[in-house]
Amino acid sequence: MARQRPAVKTPTIARVPGLDTPGALHNLSEIHPLLDHYPRKTDQDGHLDLNTPKLWPSNPPLDEMLRSQADDDVDEASLPHGLTKEDLRKFLKRALVIKRTSNMTTAGKVPSMYALVVVGNGDGIAGYGEGKDEETARAVRKATNRAMSNLTAFDRYDDRTIFHDIDHKFHATKIQFRSRPPGFGNRCNHYIHEICSCIGIMDISAKVWGSRNPMNVIKATFEALGQKQKLPADIARGRGKRMVDVQHIYYGASE
């Protein structure tokens, strides 16, 4: 006697209202709460005007979140002198690194999201921050707030480039920065390009040697531009000369 096969249960599939029956087609001229987002224009009957340019936001969700972030968690006492929370909303924000990480524990792998965000006003002030969380949006917000708390003022020659050439090493990453004349532009690694845009450096060239790990490149750039530059005042003090002589000899300033 042949054995009967056990009955297979058909899984229940969640259906969209209006598309329950097989072969049913949704009227694309009507607004649907599940299929349509952010409708802009409707007629008197509530139908969507098909001439509407687009229903989706004009900016990607991540860029929109970074742009509209209130940054109210940042304490004004931790900001450089003269900056307020209103100024923070005008800052450039760049999420340069977003990746998934996992921590191996006795209970197994615990996944999380890592974000590194660079912020700057394009006028000599910038900073970076790192954040970790289970959700990408919250990791980016943590990194942005930490970057706002770690703002640093950068010295620039003629408000466009660095004072001199810099060779810097950070772990296995070596970077060479070269000062360039007006109109040269930023010809460098794309991470360095974004950082220079946030700082306000418009003429520079850079070459990365060794490890091109994004986090090392970003940290090496901030360390080199913020700590390795020698200012004309420091050179004059160390050589026992006047500030005018140093400007004339090293930077070709007119008398």
DSSP per-residue codes, 38-99:
S---B-TTSBBPTT-S-SS-SS-HHHHHHHS---TTS-GGGSPTT--HHHHTTSEEEEEEEE
Task: For residue 159, give the 3-state DSSP assignment.
Answer: coil
pLDDT higher for 80 or 184? 184
pLDDT band at 5 (very low <50, low <70, confident <90, very high): low
pLDDT band at 70 (very low <50, low <70, confident <90, very high): very low
Maximal C-alpha separation, the chain: 111
> Domains along the chain?
61-153 (3.30.160.20), 156-255 (3.30.230.10)
Residue type present at position 209:
W
Q: Where are the alpha helices (DSSP H) in the chain?
A: 61-67, 85-88, 136-149, 190-199, 214-227, 232-239, 243-251
pLDDT band at 55 (very low <50, low <70, confident <90, very high): very low
Give yes or no for a contact between 133 and 159, defined as CB atoms under 8 angstroms apart. no
| Cα 46 to Cα 60: distance, rounded to the nearest angstrom | 28
User: Which residues on adjacent β-strands are paired with residue 115?
Assistant: 98, 131
| Cα 92 to Cα 119: distance, rounded to the nearest angstrom | 5
pLDDT band at 233 (very low <50, low <70, confident <90, very high): confident
pLDDT of residue 50 exceeding 60, the answer is no
Per-residue pLDDT tens over the stretch 81-127: 667 777 778 899 999 999 999 989 888 999 999 999 999 999 999 99
What pLDDT is attached to residue 245?
A: 74
Question: 51-78: string of b/e by CB count within 10 Å (b at 16+)?
Answer: eeeeeeeeeeeeeebbeebebeebeeee
Torsions phi, psi of 254, nearest 5? -75, 150
Give yes or no for a contact between 251 and 233, defined as CB atoms under 8 angstroms apart. no
